Structure 1
C-alpha cells in the first residue's frame, strides 16, 4: 500500500475546528505584536522566567507566567463563557471562545496603555505597577481560555463555587481580587485603598 493511501483522512469535526484554532492563534499573535509595538517587555526586565511569582508589591509582579492575579483571568473565562452562552447560545463553543479571546486580548492591550497604568498607580495599591510583560499577558489570556473551557464542562453551581472560593481566598491572601480590582479601577474608594495598603 502506498504512503498516500495509508494517510487517514481528517475527520469532519477536526476540519471544522481548524479555522477557529487558526483564528485564535492569529488573535493571540496579533496581541503579542501590538504589545511589543507599544514597548512592553517580552519577559521580566529581571531576565528570569518564573512559573510563579507571589509578591504583589514588587516590580516582578505581573511579569512571570503566573501570580495571584491569574485567578482573576480564570474567572474572566467563567464570566465570558456564561455571558456568551446567555447572549449567543445558538453559537457553538468555538466561536464563543473566539469572541472571548477578542475581548480578553483587547483588555490586555488597553490595560497596558500608559493611561491605564498611571490610573492603576493612582487609585490602587499597585504603586509600582509598570504594566505586564508580554509573557504575562499571554499567560493571562491562556488562563482565561482555560477558565472558559472549564466553565463549558462543569455544572454551573460548581463553576460559581470555584469563582467565589478563588475570590475569597485571593482576597484573604493579598487583600485584592477581581471584584476589588474592578471596584478600585472604576470607583476608587479611599477606605478600601487604605485597608489594602495594610496587607
Structure 2
C-alpha cells in the first residue's frame, strides 16, 4: 500500500475510533468520511462495510493494548515507573467508551482474527501484571480481567449532568481506581 493511502487508512481508523467512542458505532459513515477528510468512496474502498470498519477498530485497539503490554514488560525490570505508564496508556485508550460503543455492534461470534489478538492481549496483560506483583507495585489479589474491566468501567462515558457539574470527575475516578491497584500498606505499631 502506498504511504499516502496508508496514512488515509490510519486517519479513517483513528477518526472512526474517536467518533465511535463519542457517539456509538451507529454513527453515520458519511460523518466518519467527512471528519477523516476523505470522500465516502475512499472510506468504502478502505472498509467495504461498517462491520469491517468496526472489526478493524477493535483489532487496532487490541493491538495497542498488546503494544503497551509488550513495552511495559520490557521496561518494568529496570523502571518501576513503567507500571504507572502502562496503566496511563490503558486509560488513554478510552477502553470503556469504545467497549460500550463497539460491544453491541460486533457480531455475537467474533472472527478468528479478533479472537487471536484478544487472546494475545489477555496473555500480555497477565504477564505485565505478574511482573508488577513481583516488584510489589500492585496488590497481589488483582487479576488481569479485573484490571482491564476496572479500567473499562472507569473510562465509560459519564452522563452529561455529571460531566457538566463536575468536569474533572472522570479523571478523579480514574485516579481513585489506579490508587486502589496499589499494594496495601499495613501500619505496624511500634
TM normalised by structure 1 equals 0.29
Higher relative contact order (CA 8 A, sep 6+): 1
| Structure with greater proportional helix content | 2
